[in-house]
Amino acid sequence: MSSPTLVRWTAEDLVGRLDEVLAVYAAAMDYPPDLVSARRGFITAHARRAGFRAVGALDEQGAVLGFGYGYLSHSGQWWHDQVRGAIRRGDRRRWLSDAYELVELHVTPTAQGHGLGTRLLRGLLDGAPGRVVLLSTPEVPDERSRAWRLYRSHGFVDVVRQMRFPGDDRPFAILGRSLPLSTA
């Protein structure tokens, strides 16, 4: 596999490639089509938020192999408010007062295992606003998944474990770390 090209996307770039982005999302998460279709409106709305940043990984023909995006997390946003309710009161200021929310980071399964997730993570978070970065990822037995290995290898720590979001039966972990990414 030749090395994919990493590109920084504007909000318009991401929305303009939404069909491809959603196809990567569906393949990476193994989600049913109705759930994936519902993400279309969320992603479009997210692209208008303060601090929005996006990256894509393209193959030689320009097809999307992976993507990531996020924005500044604020009170009144659904995910922020759900997480705020789950974080211990004494930790809320540390984790939510100046946080960049890494919303999505996905690599199509055929391109996984070649360092593309690391390139996307670094490309997205290099220069990202905020003092800390937060994300949610599905809990997996013994943290054995490529996503967990990626986040742990970049210094992400537990903020909340076994969190349940409304509308999803699976438990999630909220992970976080300080920014910039180059600091431990």
List the catalytic residues: 151
Strand 132-138 relative to strand 99-107, pairing = parallel
Q: Which DSSP helix (H) or strand (E) runs through 108?
A: none
Q: Tokens representing 60?
A: 């030689």
Contact 58/123 with Cβ under 8 angstroms?
no
Please name the residue ranges forming H helices in 68-114. Answer: 78-86, 92-96
DSSP classification of residue 2: P
Q: What angle do CA 123, 45, 172 make, to 5 degrees?
A: 65
Contact 53/71 with Cβ under 8 angstroms?
yes
